[in-house]
């Protein structure tokens, strides 16, 4: 027995794509004006239009955290927001935290604790950890683990990630005390 | 994702006007659920009115002793607000039990109420779903329904509301303030979300074009005796199979007032007022908790893969009531109930 | 002091700074000019036929370049052979866009190419397709009686050995016996990086494919076969892979699609799968296992019988070694192993971390726990009584096996002696506490590999081999091997990989890269060393005059006589003095069959796990895991530890949460996303201790390494399952153990 069916798009007619327009973003301290249509996510704007491929696409649905960036200092999933919604916002990506030759304390701690394997979730982990530091709510191991749980790592480098983040958290809090 | 035009509203009146001026339009706040659904072609708005930067992000005292949570305040800012932590720790913990830090940083309070179900079939346009395409059928009934409803479902839909925050809100009973083409009005929280009935395509009772502007919490916050218990398939970053929000007022060992709401079990955050009445005046004992819990799930209906939820919910209610009565849980910057 | 002994130490990853700064480029990150974007359209049905694809409606959209489907794909190779990759199983490989037939749900059926990613995605959503739908079957339960013994499988597949002794009689006469069935559903690799290919159109029919793959040569050969490309027409590159776990062993349809579009459009094209589509590229198969065991009065195994049945597609007989391990991990004279497949309307399964072993190990090690309880023995004591000194499957001794030491060291670290045998006898923090264990065995394999080594006049060594780096630390360990072989600091060495312009290396899998490529790297460096020695001996006053290669050593940047360290030359000076700008050597490495022939080559491990279970709510928290691995020599303590830590996380995921659920009504996976296919998060992490038990083994390969990517995952899942039983008294035999199974 067989059955005929046709997959039909929902709405009748075919809406035309919406033209692009200039969107001004402050990325890693630099003002960039990109030509974007409203449907471009912040993630795709960074990767495909601004040439900043350090931010990763792991699921494109806010379910993995690989695309984490800092917007005005706060960590968010760049896949679930539109670039046009961030006109004039300050956006910091992994490239803005440090470079290969000049690693940030978190980046160095990730290397020292081997807090990654394939490296694909790593920029998101580090941006997330930077957001965690900015928020200032994680102190104990349990708190760090919970507040780093928005970032999946399929290689399973979580132990190293915890150690790396904890090292920087401890250092920063001891600096505050001193 | 279908194409759409976009504008950013400057104030509430502008937002309402902008949306009304575009066919097939939607408000967008944090976007954490809407954009997800647009990428799945589940939602296909022709126009987005950005309300994220409206001046509605304040959290401020109300003259009646309550607290106003601005609709565009983020979930994080709300959870970490000192007033919320001190006066409504149940809300603080429920918010922090949900999603991930990144999502909570983007998601707004108004948007949290507007979240749509996580039903697998709703999300997958290759399968029929009455909520997505009215009349096409419910694939979850007779399908895989581990995350589906045991209370208040209909033959048309067994989806659940996915929010944690809303479970606490159901217990705290705020007023939802909205603005629309016909002006402002308020909706009691318990009337905001609806059961699926014959029209599962409607998640809530908002009229066309209405925008949530704030959640006004009443003074009573159950800050001393509360619990938010979330049960899920991993220890963080997972939707609730069952969650329980409890707020109690106690006089010694006697419960003088109670609030009880469940998440993950129904099309709306499930507050059980009859259970609350049963608790009133009762001693905080295992016997009381067991009796009330059995009552809450007495009308529970399993659909196969979610049968276990009836028993799980019963046990979770007992546990949460006990935790609340003992005052075990505290407000904090992190939810560690899952660990 | 020797500063250039790197092997066995724990230096940081040499590619670490690139990875943590976002500077490592993965396949979707080569933004070549004039790039077009392809979006794959997937079948919404499991079985049927495409009647019509209304492509013209979509082509009319400005910016849409083409819609590719079976209706318009040009002539491609016809014979199965052209589509067979290095590890294709028996049967006919899937040919994307080849015919109108639909044989599995989410089958790729069209590719829409447009100027932007967003437009291609939109156009794909608009594409109307008419189908004729047929009835499908995706439920393994319906095939219990329809299993068949596969023929010759893929490379590496070993049919189970024939029965030994008299297993049925021994079982009947056993003092104690058990019989139980174990099951797990499908699981998906889900590496964090989506399958992506960027094809750079180089003009004149030539392309470079930046592809997510664990084997650039495997992909190159596939592309040459399918598209009729010449050797010089196609270059395949993968310098960083965002996780593989087996998903990139075979060429995936993303590379087919991107290359097809690039060749047809004569333009650079990128194709990226969605996370949903990552559930259409192979998986660990839904597997059912029946185990029967019996013991003698002294607690030794009288009989062991292990039978497995798992799913495969209609078009390929995917095979993996599920049951064979049960014939070698413990000593038993009466053994019967069986292995069958059943065909369903699904895509072919694919090797996934410790393929076969991860499945069979759960059956074996949970059954061992059940048997230990039935016989009244401590599970560790029971294993020690049945310790195998020989591999009875092939009746050979092991080249090395320190599993006993693993047991001892891990048990001591874990505190196994504090365990009380009775289930439900231990409590802490108001929870039930359980302790469990499990062990495993995995092949130590070496396969043919080649490498090239070059040294320049400034003393910088470059070594190349077309292997891969998917998180295993390949860059780092190869750098260590090369640097130690030629006595250089790590900074003086660059290892390059993942490019078909380099010497050929095998696909990166089976835990064989360290042994295979590592040996080739060592050989290439040794060959280069011989050339350096000859050059060094040219000057009349050379202190090394007359020395043979065996007489010298490369240490601390010098080449010196082993027996007289003062007779030395500085490596850098050798080239500079000679006037040569560069010296190079190629070499390859093969396993030494003569040496290996008399032995069974395997790595072993054991894991101990502790869980806390909330009895009322069924919630399980793994609190501690100790994993001990005996895998020859460890090249890098830091990266090896990370591999084992990751393996523990995988074992935990398999035990408690991972399952791709099929709705058989639709023949479609329902939780095909990262929100509902749960992998562990940081909050799920227990405290994990890793122990390496060193084995001296010059039989497996000259480096003495056995590989650790898979063995570390074994034992963990069973240890957790056994700990849950110990805590609760409930034996859950179908994974994952989610809280409802404990209510």
| Model confidence pLDDT, tens digit, residues B79-137 | 999 999 999 999 999 999 999 999 999 999 999 999 999 999 999 999 999 999 999 99
Residue C330 belongs to some domain of the structure: no
Interface of C with A in 164-203 (CB under 8 A): 189-194
Same domain, A27 and A93: yes
Same domain, A88 and A151: no
**How do the residues of chain C divide into helix, strand and coil, expressed in percent and rounded to 5?**
30, 25, 45
> What integer pLDDT is reported at residue C2 of this predicted model?
77
- Does the pLDDT of residue A150 top 50, yes or no? yes
> Would the CB atoms of A145 and B339 count as touching at under 8 Å?
yes
Same domain, C586 and C604: no
- Does the pLDDT of residue A10 top 80, yes or no? no
- Does the pLDDT of residue A2 top 50, yes or no? no
Residue C101 belongs to some domain of the structure: yes
Q: Which residues of C touch A1 (CB under 8 A)?
A: 134-135
Same domain, C111 and C40: yes
Q: Which residues of C touch A111 (CB under 8 A)?
A: 12-13, 16-17, 20
**How do the residues of chain B divide into helix, strand and coil, expressed in percent and rounded to 5?**
30, 20, 50
Same domain, C540 and C458: yes
d(CA C680, CA C88): 31
> Would the CB atoms of A154 and C22 count as touching at under 8 Å?
no
pLDDT in tens, B195-220: 999 999 999 999 999 999 999 999 99
Closest approach of chain C CAs to the CA of A60, in angstroms? 8
Same domain, C123 and C55: yes
Range C34-56 average pLDDT: 97
CB of A74 within 8 Å of a chain B CB? The answer is: yes
pLDDT in tens, C82-140: 999 999 999 999 999 999 999 999 999 999 999 999 999 999 999 999 999 999 999 99
The minimal CB distance from A156 to the residues C16, C48, C646 is found for: C646
> Would the CB atoms of C194 and A64 count as touching at under 8 Å?
no
Same domain, C716 and C610: yes
Of C275, B126, C196, nearest to A60 by C-alpha is C275
Report the residue of chain B nearest A147, measured CA to CA. Answer: B101
The minimal CB distance from A122 to the residues C19, C117, C472 is found for: C19
Which distant-in-sequence residues (6+ apart) come within 8 Å of C337 by Cβ?
C160, C161, C163, C305, C306, C307, C323, C324, C326, C327
Same domain, A29 and A90: yes
Question: What is the domain range of residue B269?
Answer: 225-326
Same domain, C90 and C220: yes
Same domain, A75 and A121: no
Neighbours of C (≥3 Cβ pairs closer than 8 A)? A, B
Residue C143 belongs to some domain of the structure: no
CB of C34 within 8 Å of a chain A CB? The answer is: no
Same domain, C475 and C428: no
**Could you tell me what percent of chain C has a pLDDT over 90?**
97
Closest approach of chain C CAs to the CA of B234, in angstroms? 7
> Would the CB atoms of C673 and B123 count as touching at under 8 Å?
yes
Tokens of C266: 């004569």
> What integer pLDDT is reported at residue A5 of this predicted model?
55
Query: The domain spanning residue C199 has which CATH number?
Result: 3.90.1170.50
CB of A152 within 8 Å of a chain C CB? The answer is: yes
CB of A38 within 8 Å of a chain B CB? The answer is: yes
β-bridge partners, B250: B255
**pLDDT grade for A6, boundaries at 50, 70 and 90:** low
Same domain, A85 and A125: no
Given A97, A123, A154, the domain boundary residue is A97
Between the CA atoms of B179, B182, B188 and B191, what dihedral angle is there, to the nearest 10 degrees? Answer: -110
Query: The domain spanning residue A136 has which CATH number?
Result: 1.10.150.120
Given A97, A129, A153, the domain boundary residue is A97
Same domain, A44 and A90: yes
CB of A130 within 8 Å of a chain C CB? The answer is: no
Report the residue of chain A nearest C43, measured CA to CA. Answer: A7
pLDDT in tens, C359-408: 999 999 999 999 999 999 999 999 999 999 999 999 999 999 999 999 99
d(CA B126, CA C279): 15
Report the residue of chain A nearest B103, measured CA to CA. Answer: A76
Same domain, C405 and C461: no
pLDDT in tens, C219-269: 999 999 999 999 999 999 999 999 999 999 999 999 999 999 999 999 999
Range B23-33 average pLDDT: 97
Question: C553 near C487, Cβ under 8 Å?
Answer: yes
Q: Which residues of C touch A122 (CB under 8 A)?
A: 19-20
**pLDDT grade for A173, boundaries at 50, 70 and 90:** confident
Between the CA atoms of C112, C117, C121 and C126, what dihedral angle is there, to the nearest 10 degrees? Answer: -60
Catalytic positions of C are 710
Range A95-109 average pLDDT: 98
Same domain, A90 and A143: no
Q: Which residues of A touch C645 (CB under 8 A)?
A: 156-160
Secondary structure (H, E, C), C562-579: CCCCCCEEEHHHHHHHHC
Residue A14 belongs to some domain of the structure: no
Residue B248 belongs to some domain of the structure: yes
Q: To which residue do tokens 């471009």 refer?
A: A40
Same domain, A78 and A123: no
CB of A149 within 8 Å of a chain B CB? The answer is: yes
**Could you tell me what percent of chain B has a pLDDT over 90?**
99
> What integer pLDDT is reported at residue A178 of this predicted model?
45
Residue A7 belongs to some domain of the structure: no
Residue B268 belongs to some domain of the structure: yes
Of B119, B215, B292, nearest to C673 by C-alpha is B119
Sign of the alpha-carbon torsion through C240, C245, C251, C253:
negative
Residue C171 belongs to some domain of the structure: no
Neighbours of A (≥3 Cβ pairs closer than 8 A)? B, C
Give me Rg for the CA atoms of chain A.
19
> Would the CB atoms of A119 and C15 count as touching at under 8 Å?
yes
Residue C644 belongs to some domain of the structure: yes
Phi-psi region of A165 (alpha: psi -120 to 50; beta: other; left: phi over 0): alpha
> Would the CB atoms of C31 and A99 count as touching at under 8 Å?
no
Lowest mean pLDDT among A83-87, C10-14, C150-154: C150-154
pLDDT in tens, B278-303: 999 999 999 999 999 999 999 999 99
Q: Which of C15, C22, C497, C708 to mutate to test the interface with A (most CBs of A within 10 A)?
A: C22
Range C343-371 average pLDDT: 98
Range C423-447 average pLDDT: 97
**pLDDT grade for A11, boundaries at 50, 70 and 90:** very low
> Would the CB atoms of B1 and C673 count as touching at under 8 Å?
no
pLDDT averaged over chain B? 97
Closest approach of chain B CAs to the CA of C426, in angstroms? 19
Residue A149 belongs to some domain of the structure: yes
Q: Which residues of A touch B116 (CB under 8 A)?
A: none
Helices then strands, counting H and E runs in chain C, come out as: 16, 33
Closest approach of chain B CAs to the CA of A39, in angstroms? 6
Given C274, C307, C323, the domain boundary residue is C274
Same domain, A31 and A90: yes
pLDDT in tens, B231-240: 999 999 999 9
Q: Which of C682, C688, C709, C710 to mutate to test the interface with A (most CBs of A within 10 A)?
A: C682
Question: B50 near B28, Cβ under 8 Å?
Answer: yes
Same domain, C78 and C119: yes
Q: Which residues of C touch B126 (CB under 8 A)?
A: 44-45, 666, 668
d(CA C371, CA C601): 28
Residue A1 belongs to some domain of the structure: no
pLDDT averaged over chain C? 97
**pLDDT grade for C152, boundaries at 50, 70 and 90:** confident
Same domain, A60 and A121: no
**Could you tell me what percent of chain A has a pLDDT over 90?**
87
Question: B250 near B225, Cβ under 8 Å?
Answer: yes
- Does the pLDDT of residue B255 top 80, yes or no? yes
> Would the CB atoms of A143 and B333 count as touching at under 8 Å?
yes
Given A97, A117, A137, the domain boundary residue is A97
Query: The domain spanning residue B241 has which CATH number?
Result: 3.30.390.50
Report the residue of chain C nearest A9, measured CA to CA. Answer: C126
Query: The domain spanning residue A54 has which CATH number?
Result: 3.10.20.30
Phi-psi region of A97 (alpha: psi -120 to 50; beta: other; left: phi over 0): alpha
Query: The domain spanning residue C729 has which CATH number?
Result: 3.30.365.10
Same domain, A114 and A93: no
Q: Which residues of B touch A9 (CB under 8 A)?
A: 41
Q: Which residues of A touch C51 (CB under 8 A)?
A: 4
Q: How many domains does chain B have?
A: 2
Q: Which residues of B touch C122 (CB under 8 A)?
A: 1-3
Beta strands in C320-473 (DSSP E): 335-343, 390-391, 396-397, 426-428, 431-443, 449-456, 461-465
C-alpha A52: how far from its chain's center? 12
Question: What is the domain range of residue A75?
Answer: 21-97
DSSP letter at C503 equals P
Q: How many domains does chain C have?
A: 3
> Would the CB atoms of B319 and C665 count as touching at under 8 Å?
no
The minimal CB distance from A111 to the residues C13, C242, C275 is found for: C13
- Does the pLDDT of residue C81 top 70, yes or no? yes
Same domain, A29 and A93: yes
**Could you tell me what percent of chain A has a pLDDT over 70?**
91
Given C590, C621, C641, the domain boundary residue is C590
Interface of A with C in 85-104 (CB under 8 A): 93-95, 97-101, 103
CB of A52 within 8 Å of a chain C CB? The answer is: yes
The minimal CB distance from B1 to the residues C118, C675, C678 is found for: C118
Residue A48 belongs to some domain of the structure: yes
Q: How many domains does chain A have?
A: 2
What is the interface pTM, i.e. ipTM, of the complex? 0.98
Question: What is the domain range of residue C545?
Answer: 16-23+447-590
> Would the CB atoms of B144 and C683 count as touching at under 8 Å?
no
Given C563, C590, C617, the domain boundary residue is C590
CB of C12 within 8 Å of a chain A CB? The answer is: yes
Closest approach of chain B CAs to the CA of C106, in angstroms? 10
DSSP letter at C9 equals S
């Amino acid at each position: 027995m067989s059955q005929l069916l046709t997959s039909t798009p929902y709405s009748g007619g075919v809406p035309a794509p919406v033209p692009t327009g200039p969107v001004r973003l402050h990325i890693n301290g630099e003002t960039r004006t990109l030509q974007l249509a409203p449907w471009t996510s912040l993630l795709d704007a960074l990767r495909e239009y601004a040439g900043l491929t350090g931010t990763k696409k792991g699921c494109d649905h806010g379910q993995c955290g690989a695309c984490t960036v800092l917007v005005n200092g706060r960590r968010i999933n760049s896949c679930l927001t539109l670039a046009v919604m961030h006109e004039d916002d300050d956006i910091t990506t992994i490239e803005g935290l440090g470079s290969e030759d000049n690693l940030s304390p978190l980046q160095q701690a990730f290397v020292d604790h081997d807090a990654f394997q394939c490296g694909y979730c790593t920029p998101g982990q580090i941006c997330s950890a930077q957001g965690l530091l900015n928020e200032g709510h994680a102190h104990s191991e349990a708190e760090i683990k919970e507040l780093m749980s928005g970032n999946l790592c399929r290689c399973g480098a979580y132990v190293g990630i915890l150690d790396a983040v904890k090292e920087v958290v401890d250092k920063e809090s001891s600096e505050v005390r001193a | 994702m279908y194409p759409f035009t976009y504008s950013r509203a400057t104030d509430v009146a502008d937002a309402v006007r902008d949306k009304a001026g575009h066919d097939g339009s939607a408000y967008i706040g944090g976007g954490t659920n809407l954009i997800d659904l647009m990428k799945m072609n589940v939602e296909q708005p022709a126009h987005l009115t950005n309300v994220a930067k409206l001046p509605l992000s304040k959290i401020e005292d109300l003259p009646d002793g309550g607290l106003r949570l601005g609709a565009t305040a983020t979930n994080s800012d709300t959870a970490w607000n000192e007033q919320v932590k001190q006066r409504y720790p149940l809300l603080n913990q429920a918010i922090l039990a949900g999603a991930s830090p990144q999502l909570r940083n983007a998601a707004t309070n108004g948007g949290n109420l507007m979240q749509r179900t996580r039903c697998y079939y709703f999300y997958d346009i290759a399968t029929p779903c009455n909520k997505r395409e009215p009349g096409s059928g419910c694939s979850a009934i007779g399908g895989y329904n581990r995350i589906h409803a045991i209370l208040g479902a209909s033959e048309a839909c067994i989806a659940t509301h996915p929010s944690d925050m809303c479970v606490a809100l159901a217990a705290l009973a705020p007023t939802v303030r909205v603005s629309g083409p016909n002006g402002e009005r308020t909706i009691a929280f318990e009337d905001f979300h609806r059961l699926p009935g014959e029209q599962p395509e409607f998640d809530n009772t908002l009229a066309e074009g209405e925008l949530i502007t704030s959640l006004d919490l009443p003074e009573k916050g159950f800050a001393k005796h509360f619990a938010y218990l979330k049960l899920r398939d991993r220890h963080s970053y997972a939707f609730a199979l069952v969650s329980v929000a409890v707020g109690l007022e106690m006089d010694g060992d006697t419960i003088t007032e109670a609030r009880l709401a469940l998440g993950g079990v129904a099309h709306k955050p499930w507050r059980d007022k009859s259970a609350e009445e049963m608790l009133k005046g009762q001693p905080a004992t295992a016997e009381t908790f067991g009796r009330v819990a059995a009552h809450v799930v007495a009308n529970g209906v399993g659909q196969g893969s979610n049968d276990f939820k009836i028993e799980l919910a019963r046990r979770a209610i007992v546990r949460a009531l006990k935790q609340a009565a003992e005052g075990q849980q505290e407000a904090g910057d992190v939810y560690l109930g899952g660990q | 002091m020797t500063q250039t002994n790197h092997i066995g130490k724990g230096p940081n990853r040499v590619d670490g700074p690139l990875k943590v700064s976002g500077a490592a480029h993965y396949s979707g990150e080569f933004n070549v000019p004039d790039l077009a974007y392809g979006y794959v359209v997937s079948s919404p049905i499991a079985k049927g036929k495409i009647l019509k694809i209304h492509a013209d409606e979509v082509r009319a959209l400005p910016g849409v370049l083409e819609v590719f489907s079976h209706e318009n794909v040009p002539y491609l190779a016809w014979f199965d052979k052209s589509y067979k990759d290095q590890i294709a199983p028996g049967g006919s490989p899937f040919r994307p866009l080849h015919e109108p037939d639909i044989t599995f749900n989410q089958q790729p059926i069209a590719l829409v190419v447009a100027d932007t990613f967003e437009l291609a995605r939109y156009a794909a959503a608009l594409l109307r397709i008419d189908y004729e739908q047929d009835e499908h079957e995706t439920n393994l339960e319906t095939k219990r009686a329809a299993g068949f013994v596969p023929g010759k499988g893929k490379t590496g597949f070993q049919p189970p050995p024939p029965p030994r002794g008299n297993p049925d009689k021994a079982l009947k006469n056993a003092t104690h016996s058990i019989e139980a069935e174990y099951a797990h559903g499908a699981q998906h690799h889900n590496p964090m990086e989506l399958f992506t290919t960027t094809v750079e159109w180089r003009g004149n029919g030539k392309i470079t494919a930046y592809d997510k793959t664990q084997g650039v040569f495997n992909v190159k050969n596939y592309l040459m076969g399918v598209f009729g490309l010449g050797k010089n027409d196609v270059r395949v590159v993968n310098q960083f892979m965002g996780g593989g776990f087996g998903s990139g062993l075979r060429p995936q349809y993303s590379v087919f699609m991107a290359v097809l579009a690039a060749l047809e459009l004569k333009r650079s094209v990128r194709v990226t799968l969605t996370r949903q589509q990552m559930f259409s590229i192979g998986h660990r198969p839904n597997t059912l296992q029946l185990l029967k065991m019996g013991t003698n009065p002294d607690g030794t195994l009288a009989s062991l019988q292990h039978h497995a049945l798992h799913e495969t597609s209609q078009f390929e007989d995917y095979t993996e070694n599920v049951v064979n391990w049960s014939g070698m991990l413990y000593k038993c004279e009466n053994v019967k192993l069986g292995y069958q497949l059943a065909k369903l309307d699904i895509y072919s399964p694919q090797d996934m971390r410790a393929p076969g072993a991860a499945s069979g190990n759960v059956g074996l090690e949970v059954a061992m726990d059940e048997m230990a309880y039935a016989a009244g023995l401590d599970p560790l004591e029971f294993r020690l009584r049945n310790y195998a000194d020989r591999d009875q499957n092939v009746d050979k001794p092991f080249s090395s096996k320190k599993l006993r030491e693993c047991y001892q060291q891990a048990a001591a670290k874990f505190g196994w002696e504090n365990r009380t045998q009775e289930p439900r006898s231990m409590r802490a923090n108001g929870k039930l506490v359980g302790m469990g264990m499990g062990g495993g065995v995995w092949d130590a394999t070496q396969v043919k590999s080649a490498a090239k080594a070059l040294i320049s006049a400034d003393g910088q060594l470059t070594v190349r081999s077309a292997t891969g780096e998917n998180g295993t630390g390949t860059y780092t360990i190869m750098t260590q091997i090369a640097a130690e072989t030629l006595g250089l600091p790590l900074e003086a060495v660059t290892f390059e990989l993942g490019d078909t312009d380099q010497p050929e290396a095998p696909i990166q899998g089976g835990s064989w890269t360290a042994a295979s490529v590592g040996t080739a790297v060592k050989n290439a460096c040794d060959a280069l060393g011989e050339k350096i020695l000859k050059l060094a001996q040219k000057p009349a006053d050379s202190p090394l005059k007359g020395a043979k290669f065996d007489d010298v050593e490369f240490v601390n940047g010098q080449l010196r006589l082993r027996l007289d360290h003062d007779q030395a030359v500085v490596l850098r000076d050798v080239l500079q003095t000679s006037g040569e700008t560069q010296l190079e050597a190629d070499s390859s490495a093969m396993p030494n069959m003569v040496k290996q022939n008399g032995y069974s080559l395997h790595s072993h491990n054991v894991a101990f796990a502790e869980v806390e279970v909330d009895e009322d709510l069924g919630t399980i928290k793994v609190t501690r895991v100790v994993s001990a691995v005996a895998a020859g020599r460890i090249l890098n303590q830091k990266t090896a530890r990370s591999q084992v830590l990751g393996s523990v996380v995988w074992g935990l995921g398999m035990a408690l949460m991972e399952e791709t659920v099929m709705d058989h009504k639709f023949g479609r996976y329902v939780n095909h996303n990262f929100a509902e296919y749960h992998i562990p998060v940081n909050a799920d992490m227990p405290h994990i201790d890793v122990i390496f038990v060193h084995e001296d083994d010059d039989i497996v390969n000259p480096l003495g390494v056995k590989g650790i990517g898979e063995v570390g995952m074994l034992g963990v899942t069973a240890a957790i399952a056994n700990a849950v039983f110990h805590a609760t008294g409930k034996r859950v035999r179908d994974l994952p153990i989610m809280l409802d199974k404990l209510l």
